[in-house]
Each structure stands twice: as structure tokens, then as C-alpha cells.
Structure 1
């Protein structure tokens, strides 16, 4: 695979004076089972902070009101059965599934994959992918975002799983293998101290971020960032690469302000605007 780590980061297009919210994508986020409502709420907030025009959260009926209570800016849909979110799925330009989803909603993932839309699969979405042996159904517009444990469940190979926690070369190899094993070689973001992004033909190693980001919810924030970037037109590899960079910068800014020990995931959301400003020299 070609190493593009040193090539310029992909950037979002500028916003025209006549732009409206519909120009920046409609994102559907699916997750937030009872007891885990905060996971998908953080994804939704980070998606909005990453520039998505409209965000809807589909959550199980028992937790949808809790998800809605976190913020008035995104919309919510209560799922009692799989069909309840079909209308929202059809309207979405980008879908993200997994944060706080739990183990009882595996039937949602095949519907999402069949919609063939730009999709981020994380957390319990990845576990559902592994349980259902659906890796061959992943299409080229998907981003998979496993940590090493989720990676091992997806590949079902102990030696490959060990490489997911190895040195840079081994992690690059591991990410590339998973990208090529997916149905049409979507992008893989292998989480870790030096996150690897690969699509089977190229890879990049991210160098932003710090150990303070090893805290619950950090990955949920990353899911939202990537989905927001895809909603604005970036492809899977570019969205994952830029998302990992911005997510790490937000973590570095939070660490500088609060210290690594006291950081929590919502601090990353608070720093996303400043992280994006560092990409754009235009004064505000």
C-alpha cells in the first residue's frame, strides 16, 4: 500500500454565501440503547460540530427521550421495530451505526448496508458485523472504525489480531487486510496510539492525539466527526484520515487546557471548533 501520511490533508470545500443546511448533508446516527444514550448523543453533537447540516438520531424507543434531552439541535426517531427508521434512512445522505447500540438490534445493520449509502460502522455495529458474518456485505462507501479487540472479532484470526496491537508496520498490514476483506474495500480506521487509516491501496498514520483520549466516549466522538465530514462530500478514506487528525487535535487542545488525567470525551467536542479553525486560516 502507498504511504500517504506525509501528503497534504484532505480539506472541506468552502461555504458559499448562499449556502443552506441542506447543502451540508443529512446524517442518520443509529444507537443509544437504554443505559448508553450518551454514546449516540456525543456522536450527534460531534457530527454537528464537524459541519453536518442536519442530524437525526434513531434510538430504541425506551431511550430516545433521553437522547433527545441532551441537546435541542439534533432530531430523534424512536425505534420500536426495524421499520420505524426506514423513512429516516431513505432521507439520509450519510449513516453511522453502532455507538451504544447494544446487542439486540443486529437486524438494523443489514438494512443500513442494503441502503448502499456512505456509512460509518463503529462499536456495537462492528460487533453485529462480526456476529452476522456480514463483512462481505460492506461496500466501498463504508468506514469501519475498530479498536484492536473489535478488529480481532472481525477477522477471526489470532495472528492478525496480534498485529493490530503491534508496531506501525504491523498495524498498517492489519488495517490493509481488513480493508481488502470487506466486500468492496471500504476504508478501515484502526484505532490506537497512532491510528492507521487504510483502504487496501493506500494508508496513512495519524500523529495527533494523546493518552488522555483513552476515556469512554472518545470513539463515539470520532464516529460523529467522520460522519459529518462524509456528509459534506469527503470520501471514506479522506473523511477517516481528516477525522482522525481533527479528533486528535481536539484531544491535544483539551489536554493543554485540562491535563490528560482529567479529560473526558465531551471535552473533545468542546475543542472541535478550535481544531477545525486550525485547518482554515480565514479569520472569523
Structure 2
């Protein structure tokens, strides 16, 4: 799914008005009507008090349209105008006049804290937040921030229109108290990037996209910098197997890592590569890991380093399709030296994780030796060591994009919504759950991405597809283990089910059979 920027949404509105030969007021009517349809379908006339708070711009106009339809359909509606400026949008004024024609209870004007100090909002009521929209680009006035805090204190169900008021679409916020905490957000045409970032996702609650009628041709043709990756996006990436293929058709993964006490990381990555579909997998690890790995995964071949407890001299005579390096590797002086020597002579595609990233962070001159399209998979602390600290999520993204362009690498920012960064493009994953916050899960991901590259997927496609499968497998495992008991091995066990799920059709609701009695 494309995630449209603020500028693209504005351009889409403009083109829609021109191509469909309608007014912007009519386009707002369409949007507000869709909002009404959404809430009407769910409430079916229930007489719960609905408090609709409208700003004085276009999002406020959307709220007025919805409120007008709620009123004419007999709902218990109280409409408020949050009068934060002396400027009014033309379309807001048009719909403000229309709502006054359908009710004797004109909207309540709010211009300061005293105006809402006596307003009673019960915990069983509904708040509709249509105060600010995507054009909001300045700090909310203190009395407006107090109003938002009143929303939160009421514990009423809060429905945000397009975006929770107070959030910016393209920069970090400075005051949490000046933002609406929504339980549900109805986003116009596509979700926003801020819905998926650690610092701002907490304001969104659940979200859903509302089609407000922007020109289809424009939406199809416009290219976006951000894409949301779900089942429909990864299914076309899948490569089916040929009947007469053999293991040589699906590549050879070399997992290079491990040190005394961390051989399990290599086991997890190796088994994940196999379970993802790699034709062959070889593990390169210190001597201390030989027997445990051969016993744990008989399908994996093993090469041992001359050293007993660490990697100190990387030498092999095979020709791998891809090398996953860094899991459990350690950062001893000997390991750093052999890692440097390896990078300088390597031309094989790389997936780099864990201590491989930590060595690169400590010796950034080595970045010049990374092959084009190398995949780096840092967790937040590893990322900070690699690119330096950041002040907010947007600065983090800009720094990662710059890093990706400078070194011509793919960077996976791991998190609740892992983001694959390929220069200026962002791909946001939608699978996964909090049960994945446990040791070894990153090692599994290294194996999955490596296994996909071995099968002929490009590094970018392998990362996007691999992150999806990784999270989907964890979601499937969650059904049996729950958040607390989910471990990395479970994710490997359900990778097959994650593949199969790509082709499952949504279950149709069952229709009860008529009784013969």
C-alpha cells in the first residue's frame, strides 16, 4: 500500500476537483459522508452522546459534514467549534452554514479554557476529534492542549478524523500533552508514516483507511517514498518452485559467526536459512561449536575455524551464494582483524547482523568494503552505534537514508514496525508482535533473509519478504505460545505455515442452517 505524503494528498484533492468537475466543498461532502457511514454502520442509531469537536480548517469541515448527517439521522450530537484562529477555510464556512440549517442546537464556540470548563463528557460517551488535520504545522495553543487533556481524562472513546490533532505528518512533536490520544483513527486514502513510528504510534490507537474519492488514476500513477508491506504486497514477490528443480537451484548459504557461549546464534540462523528454502547451508564457526551444531541440525554442513573459542581466520573453499555474518561473532581483537581481512577480499552478497554491525560501528573505515546491496539488520542500539544518536524518529530516518545512500546498502530498522530503508525509499512491515522481544529472534531473521537471497531474490526483495515472513511466523506461533512463552525457535517451526498463509483466502462468515424442527 502506498503511503501518501501531505503534499501528495493536497495534489490529489486538487486534481480530483479538476478532473471530476466538482467543487472542493463537494469533495469535503463526500469525505464527511463516508465518515458518517462508518460510524452509522457501527452505532445503528444508539443514543450515546457524541461530542464532535471541529477545527476551523478543512478537517473541521469534514467533522461538520459528519455531525450534520448524524443530527439528521437522529443521533444525540453536540458539536463544538475549536476557535483557535481568526482564519476560516472557505469550505469550513460553507458546511458551518449548512449544519445551522438542520438543528436549533448550533455548534458551541470554544475560544478559551473557560468555554469548556463546564462541559461534561462521560466515560461512555464518544468524542470525535476533527480539530486539526494534516496541514497542522505549529504548536497548539495552551488552552487547546488543555482541551485535549480533557478528552484523555474523560476516558471516552475518541475517534480521530484523518490524524489525531496535534500530530505533525513530517516532523517530531515537542509536547505529548498537546496531542489527542485516539482510540481509533480514520485516515483519508492511506495511513500516515507517523502511525508506525515508535514516538507517535501511541496516539493513533487502531486505524482504518477511508476512501474519500480522490482520483483513481492519480492514486495509481503517483510514486511514493513510503510503502506499507502486507500480504498483498509480498504475494507477487513469491517465486514458485519448478517440478524438476534440485537443491543446486536454491543456492548455498554460509552462516559465519559464533564464539564460546554463543554458538546457538549460528544454529538459529542456519536452521532458519534452511527452513526458508535455501538449497544448502554451511555454518562457519569456532571449533567449540562443531559437535553441538552437527548434533542439533544434521542438515547443515560445518566448517570450523582453527581457533577453539572465536573466529580468528576465515578460510573456506566453497562458493556461497550469500554470507550471513555477525551472529554470536564477538568483538575480540583477533575476530576484528579477520573480519577486516574478510571484507577486503569478499565479493559475495552479505547480510550483516549483531557483532558484525558492532565491528563496523567501531571501525567505520571498513564500510567502504561492503558490497553494493549489503543488508544491515540493526536493532535500535546497534543502529545508534552505527549512525550516531538522533533527536526523534524523523531525524533517525533521515540519517539512515543518508547512510544507505552513502554506502549503497540496505538498512533494516528493526522494531514493532520494522522499516527497510533503501536510499530514499521506506518499506514498513505490518507483521509481528511483542512476543518477538526475546533473544535469538534477530539471528533467525538473518537466516531468513540469507535464505531468500540464496534462492535468487534480490537483497531488497529478500529483506522486505523476509521481514514479513519472520513476523507472520511469529504471529502464527503466538496462537500456541502467547507473548511471554514465544521463543526464537518457534518462529522457525512455523515458517512453513507463514508461506502457506500467503495463499489462503479469507474465511467467509458461516451461515447458520435453517432448523427442520
| TM-score of the aligned structures, taking structure 1 as reference length | 0.89
Deviations 1:111-167 (A, max 9, x none): 146322111000011111122221222222310000111111112x222xx54xx3x
Q: Distance in 2 between matches of 1:202 and 1:175?
A: 11
Asked if 1:54 corresponds to 2:280, the answer is yes
1:173 to 375, 378, 398: 398
Q: Distance in 2 between matches of 1:194 and 1:142?
A: 21
Contact 2:255–2:270 (CA under 8 A) maintained in structure 1: yes
Q: Distance in 1 between matches of 2:406 and 2:330?
A: 25
More displaced 10-residue stretch of structure 1: 139-148 or 59-68: 59-68
Query: Which residue of the partner structure matches residue 252 of structure 2?
Result: 26
**Equivalences, count:** 271
Q: Distance in 2 between matches of 1:113 and 1:243?
A: 27
Query: Which residue of the partner structure matches residue 331 of structure 2?
Result: 103
State how 1:193-232 maps to structure 2 within 5 Å.
193-232=416-455
Q: Distance in 2 between matches of 1:62 and 1:39?
A: 13
Q: Distance in 1 between matches of 2:425 and 2:301?
A: 36
Q: Distance in 2 between matches of 1:122 and 1:199?
A: 17
Q: Distance in 2 between matches of 1:115 and 1:280?
A: 38
Contact 1:98–1:125 (CA under 8 A) maintained in structure 2: yes
Deviation at 1:70, TM superposition (A): 1.3
Q: Distance in 1 between matches of 2:331 and 2:401?
A: 27
Query: Which residue of the partner structure matches residue 377 of structure 2?
Result: 145
Higher relative contact order (CA 8 A, sep 6+): 1
Asked if 1:8 corresponds to 2:233, the answer is yes
Asked if 1:158 corresponds to 2:389, the answer is yes
| Partner SS state of residue 457, structure 2 | coil
Q: Distance in 1 between matches of 2:226 and 2:456?
A: 23
Query: Which residue of the partner structure matches residue 410 of structure 2?
Result: 187
Q: Distance in 1 between matches of 2:451 and 2:233?
A: 20
Structure 1 gap segments, 5+ residues each: none
| Partner SS state of residue 478, structure 2 | helix
Deviation at 1:62, TM superposition (A): 2.2
| Partner SS state of residue 8, structure 1 | helix
Closer, same or farther in 2 for the Cα pair 1:171/1:195, shift >3 Å? farther
Bigger-Rg structure (1/2): 2
Deviations 1:57-84 (A, max 9, x none): 0001222222222110100000116555
Runs of 4+ that moved beyond 4 A: 81-84
Q: Distance in 1 between matches of 2:473 and 2:406?
A: 32
| Partner SS state of residue 87, structure 1 | coil
Query: Which residue of the partner structure matches residue 494 of structure 2?
Result: 271
State how 1:112-131 maps to structure 2 within 5 Å.
112=343, 114-131=345-362
Query: Which residue of the partner structure matches residue 85 of structure 1?
Result: 315
More displaced 10-residue stretch of structure 1: 212-221 or 229-238: 229-238
Q: Distance in 2 between matches of 1:86 and 1:16?
A: 31
Deviation at 1:87, TM superposition (A): 1.2
Closer, same or farther in 2 for the Cα pair 1:127/1:84, shift >3 Å? closer
Q: Distance in 2 between matches of 1:41 and 1:112?
A: 23
| TM-score of the aligned structures, taking structure 2 as reference length | 0.50
More displaced 10-residue stretch of structure 1: 139-148 or 104-113: 104-113
Closer, same or farther in 2 for the Cα pair 1:17/1:64, shift >3 Å? same
Asked if 1:257 corresponds to 2:480, the answer is yes
| Partner SS state of residue 208, structure 1 | coil
Closer, same or farther in 2 for the Cα pair 1:257/1:175, shift >3 Å? farther
